[in-house]
Structure 1
Amino acid sequence: MKRQKRDKMDRAFSRGFQAGLTGRSKENCPYHAPDAKMHWLGGWREAIDGRETGLFTK
């Protein structure tokens, strides 16, 4: 059975989330398209908020 490719916006969110967990700056966003950039920043913000509240550790 073939695996479907993940949605590009889901991928942008998860990459932003990983960037936030590792402490990267939001200026390092690799996306230029407005929709993908919005999802990447959403993932980044969620990870940063989680780190600040203690849900995630370095």
Structure 2
Amino acid sequence: MRGYQHGINGKSRDMCPFTHPTTRQAWINGWREGRGDNWDGLTGAAGIHRLNELHAVG
């Protein structure tokens, strides 16, 4: 969730605060989804809708 938020806002994946491999990978996976959505133009209301979908799942 937090990784997605960083990605959708165009922030660097180097900002990942986790060092444990499993947790770090989950954060980076979210970041990748967020970056992809950012590149696809899902910002503003569309990005909020997507974030709500992810929150409901995870």
TM-score (norm 1): 0.69
Shift of 1:55: 2.0
Could you list the structure 1 runs, at least 4 aligned residues long, displaced by more than 4 angstroms after superposition.
Answer: none
Amino acid in the other structure paired with 2:31 = W
Which of the pair has more CA radius of gyration? Answer: 1
Structure 2: unaligned runs, 5 residues or longer: 48-58
For structure 1, the residue ranges without an aligned partner over 5 or more in a row are 1-13
* RMSD between aligned residues: 1.6
Q: Percent identity of the aligned residues?
A: 36
Indicate the structure with greater helix content: 2
For 1:22 and 1:54, the matched residues in 2 are separated by: 11
Q: How many pairs are equivalent?
A: 45
Q: Does 1:23 pair with 2:10?
A: yes
Scaled by the length of structure 2, what TM-score is found?
0.69
